[in-house]
C-alpha cells in the first residue's frame, strides 16, 4: 500500500502543527497535497510547492497516505464523515491528540470504511518538526507503519509502539504525567528557595542534576515493578517518609503551598499503613494502580 512511485502525501488540517508537518514533507521532497477548512492557510505552503486540494474529496483522492492533524477527534469526524466513501484504500495516519478510547474507536471507524489506520502522538512543538528532536509515536498494524515509514520519517524520529491503536495516546499522556510532575517538583523547590533569596536560575542547575540522578534509577525500579518484588536496596519507604515530613515542614515554615508535599506523603502513608513500609519506593505502584473512584 505504499505510493512507491512518488511517496506522495496528503495533509489534512493546517493549524500550527499541520503546517509544520506539511512543510517537513515538502522539504524532504515528497509531493504534498494540502487541505484546510479555512483555505487561506494553504497559501504559504502552495508558494513553497504544495498542491492545494480544492476540496477534502480531492485531497483524499490525491494519494494513499493521508496525515490528519486537527484540533480534536470531533473535528476529524466533522471533516471526514460526509466523505467516508473516499477513505477506501487509504492509510489514515491520525496525529491529532486524544485518548486511547478515541484512538481505538477511530481505528474501527476507519477500518469499517475500508481504510488502514495508524494513530499517532507528536511529542514535539511545531518548530522541531522535521528534526531528529521531534519524537512521533505510532500505533496500529506494524505492516501499515512499515509501508510508509520512509515517508513518515520526514517528520522526525518516528517509532511504532505496537498493534494496539491506543498505545500512542497512552504513551503521550504517560509522558505528560512525567513532564508535569517534574515541573511541579521543580516549582515547589523554587518557591521554597525564593523565600531564602535564592532565585530560580540559581536553583535550576541543582534541580537538573537531581532530575538526572533520579532518571538513572528508573531501569532498576522498573525491574522491581515488573517483578512485583520491592526489597529495600538503598532506602525503605519508612526512611523516605521522614524526609517527606521535612519537605512538608519546610514548606509550611516558608509559607509556600503544601499541596504537593501533602500529596507525596499521603500516598506513601497509605502504603505504610498497608504494611509496605520496609519495602522500596517503587512499591507505591500498588497505590498508583488502584482506581481513585
Closest distance of CB 135 from ligand FVH, Å: 11
Examine residue 18 and tell whether it contacts ligand FVH (CB under 6 A). yes
Residue nearest to ligand FVH (CB): 15
Show the site string, 229-248: x = touches ligand FVH by CB under 6 A, - = not: --------------------
Least Cα distance to 94 among 41, 46, 137 occurs for 137
Of 3, 11, 13, 53, the one binding ligand FVH (CB under 6 A) is 13
Closest distance of CB 170 from ligand FVH, Å: 15
| Residue 75 or 272 having the CB closest to ligand FVH | 75
| Residue 59 or 271 having the CB closest to ligand FVH | 59
Examine residue 50 and tell whether it contacts ligand FVH (CB under 6 A). no
Of 11, 14, 93, 152, the one binding ligand FVH (CB under 6 A) is 14
Rounded CA gap, 161 and 140, in Å? 8
Closest distance of CB 141 from ligand FVH, Å: 22
Q: Which segments of the chain does DSSP mark as H helices, in order?
A: 16-27, 43-47, 56-61, 73-80, 100-112, 142-152, 167-194, 200-227, 237-254, 259-273, 285-288
Examine residue 176 and tell whether it contacts ligand FVH (CB under 6 A). no
Rounded CA gap, 76 and 71, in Å? 8
Of 15, 105, 113, 175, the one binding ligand FVH (CB under 6 A) is 15
Rounded CA gap, 235 and 76, in Å? 49
| Residue 78 or 143 having the CB closest to ligand FVH | 78
DSSP string over 165-199? TTHHHHHHHHHHHHHHHHHHHHHHHHHHHHTTT--
Please, which residues bridge with residue 10 across strands? 33, 66
Examine residue 46 and tell whether it contacts ligand FVH (CB under 6 A). no
| Residue 119 or 240 having the CB closest to ligand FVH | 119
| Residue 58 or 269 having the CB closest to ligand FVH | 58
Residues 60-99 that bind ligand FVH (CB under 6 A): 69-72, 75, 78-79, 96-97
Strands laid side by side in the 116-123 sheet: 51-52, 32-35, 9-12, 65-68, 91-94, 116-123, 135-139, 157-160
Examine residue 178 and tell whether it contacts ligand FVH (CB under 6 A). no
Residues 206-225 that bind ligand FVH (CB under 6 A): none
Contact by Cβ (8 Å): 28, 154: yes
Rounded CA gap, 100 and 98, in Å? 7
Least Cα distance to 148 among 162, 135, 138, 133 occurs for 138
Closest distance of CB 75 from ligand FVH, Å: 3
**Cβ contacts of 41 within 8 Å, gap of 6 or more:** 14, 15, 19
Please, which residues bridge with residue 137 across strands? 121, 159
| Residue 136 or 237 having the CB closest to ligand FVH | 136
Which residues of the shown chain bind ligand FVH in the complex (CB under 6 A)?
Answer: 13-18, 36-38, 41, 69-72, 75, 78-79, 96-97, 122, 125-126
Amino acid at each position: 500500500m505504499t505510493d512507491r512511485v512518488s511517496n506522495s502525501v496528503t495533509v489534512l488540517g493546517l493549524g500550527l502543527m499541520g503546517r509544520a508537518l506539511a512543510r517537513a514533507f515538502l522539504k524532504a521532497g515528497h509531493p504534498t497535497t494540502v487541505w484546510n477548512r479555512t483555505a487561506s492557510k494553504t497559501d504559504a505552503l502552495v508558494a513553497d510547492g504544495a498542491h492545494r486540494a480544492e476540496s477534502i474529496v480531492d485531497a483524499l483522492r490525491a494519494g494513499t497516505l493521508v496525515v490528519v492533524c486537527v484540533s480534536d477527534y470531533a473535528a476529524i469526524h466533522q471533516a471526514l464523515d460526509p466523505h467516508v466513501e473516499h477513505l477506501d484504500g487509504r492509510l489514515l495516519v491520525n496525529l491529532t491528540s486524544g485518548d486511547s478510547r478515541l484512538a481505538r474507536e477511530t481505528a474501527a471507524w476507519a477500518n469499517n470504511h475500508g481504510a488502514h489506520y495508524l494513530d499517532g502522538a507528536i511529542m514535539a512543538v511545531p518548530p522541531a518538526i522535521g528534526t531528529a528532536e521531534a519524537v512521533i509515536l505510532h500505533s496500529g498494524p506494524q505492516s501499515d507503519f512499515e509501508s510508509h515509514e520512509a515517508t513518515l520519517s520526514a517528520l522526525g524520529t518516528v517509532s511504532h509502539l505496537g498493534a494496539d491503536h491506543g498505545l500512542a495516546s497512552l504513551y503521550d499522556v504517560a509522558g505528560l504525567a512525567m513532564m508535569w510532575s517534574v515541573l511541579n517538583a521543580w516549582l515547589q523547590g523554587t518557591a521554597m528557595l525564593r523565600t531564602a533569596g535564592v532565585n530560580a536560575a540559581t536553583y535550576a542547575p541543582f534541580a537538573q542534576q537531581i532530575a538526572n540522578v533520579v532518571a538513572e534509577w528508573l531501569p532498576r525500579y522498573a525491574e522491581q515493578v515488573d517483578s512485583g518484588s520491592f526489597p529495600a536496596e538503598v532506602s525503605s519507604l519508612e526512611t523516605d517518609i521522614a524526609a517527606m515530613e521535612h519537605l512538608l515542614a519546610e514548606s509550611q515554615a516558608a509559607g509556600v503551598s503544601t499541596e504537593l508535599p501533602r500529596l507525596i506523603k499521603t500516598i506513601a502513608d497509605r502504603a505504610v499503613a498497608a504494611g509496605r513500609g520496609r519495602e522500596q519506593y517503587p512499591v507505591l505502584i500498588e497505590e498508583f494502580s488502584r482506581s481513585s473512584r
